[in-house]
Structure 1
Amino acid sequence: MDLVQYAWIAWLVVALVCFIIEMVTLEFTFLMIGLSSVVGLVSSITGLPWWAQILIAAAAALLLLFLVRPKLLHRLHDSGEINKQGIEALMGMAGEVTRSFERGAGEVTLANGDVWTARLSPAVPPRDPDVGERIVVTAIEGATAIVVPAQR
């Protein structure tokens, strides 16, 4: 039994393992290695000797890692897609008063569905917004959203 004729199985396993690791790391390194393993798989299916398969897969890995990966990373980071999280994501978010304000404090439901205790910002004239009135978050202080009435 000639093990070289089953080399395609090894290439397939390496490619699948690399793709699974890439799903966890998300940095394109294992994606490039997995793609070069697919190149090795194709060279195996065409009947090339094992040493040629390794050379072709290694060349593909180098090309992908040093030419394609940096361009992908650059496009990913410069795409303008800024994923705000935590408090940053709440700044400027619209919402609605869900519990009457008394002396400048009440409860609001934000556009993302979060319910927050809220205080009226000191930057606006003091008043108590009505239930159902639209608001915008300007700051977060602890567990309290600082809000202003939305411009109509």
Structure 2
Amino acid sequence: MNDIDAWVWWLVGAAALGIPLVVTAMPEFGMLAVGAVAAAAVSALGFDAVIQVLTFVVVSVALIAVVRPIAARHGRQSPRLATGVEALKGRQAVVLERVDGSGGRIKLAGEVWSARALDTGRAYEVGQEVDVVDIEGATAIVI
């Protein structure tokens, strides 16, 4: 055991921390593994065990304190690229047949859609531009 340099043990520890990272998909293990690699580098430079352990702790804690909140924030964000009917919400359309609370037709994204007014007392005439606020089935709800 004494024949193996400390930096090798740090690399073995980093590899050992990589196993639960892959198995559990917990990024904290990866951050600890990076701390172990940093400690291996410090050991290879000839620093003593106290400096090696401090390097491991400081690098690991810094990564967990900085990277983890950023990753959590990105994980909570919804995708920026809307697809399907979600991509049609908020777009403008042109009225092809009078649209009121009971129905009508619009041209939306190059296609003809059935539509109805959000405000049932309001009507939109042919050629008018309307905004799509929702899609219910195959009917666009417009204002």
Q: Normalising by the residue count of structure 1, what TM-score does the alignment of the two structures yield?
A: 0.49
| Conserved 8 A contact 1:96-1:108 | yes
| Conserved 8 A contact 1:12-1:38 | no
1:57/1:46 Cα in 2 relative to 1: closer, same or farther (>3 Å)?
A: closer
Mapped pair 1:37 → 2:24:
no
Q: Deviations over 1:46-93 (max 9, x none)?
A: 22789x86786467546654x54675478x38x9x76686767755x0
Percent of aligned pairs with the same amino acid: 19
Q: Deviations over 1:101-122 (max 9, x none)?
A: 2674224325xx8x56231306
Residue 140 of structure 1 is matched in structure 2 by 135
Unmatched segments (≥5 aa) in structure 1: none
Q: Residue 39 of structure 1 aligns to which amino acid in structure 2?
A: G
Cα distance in 2 for partners of 1:145, 1:13 equals 55
Aligned length: 129
Q: Residue 105 of structure 1 aligns to which amino acid in structure 2?
A: G
Unmatched segments (≥5 aa) in structure 2: none
Q: Structure 1 residues 118-127 or 35-44, which shifts more?
A: 118-127
Q: Secondary structure in 1 aligned to 2:135?
A: strand
Residue 105 of structure 2 is matched in structure 1 by 106
Q: Secondary structure in 2 aligned to 1:46?
A: helix
Q: Which has the larger radius of gyration?
A: 2
Cα distance in 2 for partners of 1:96, 1:59 equals 57
Q: CA RMSD in A?
A: 4.8
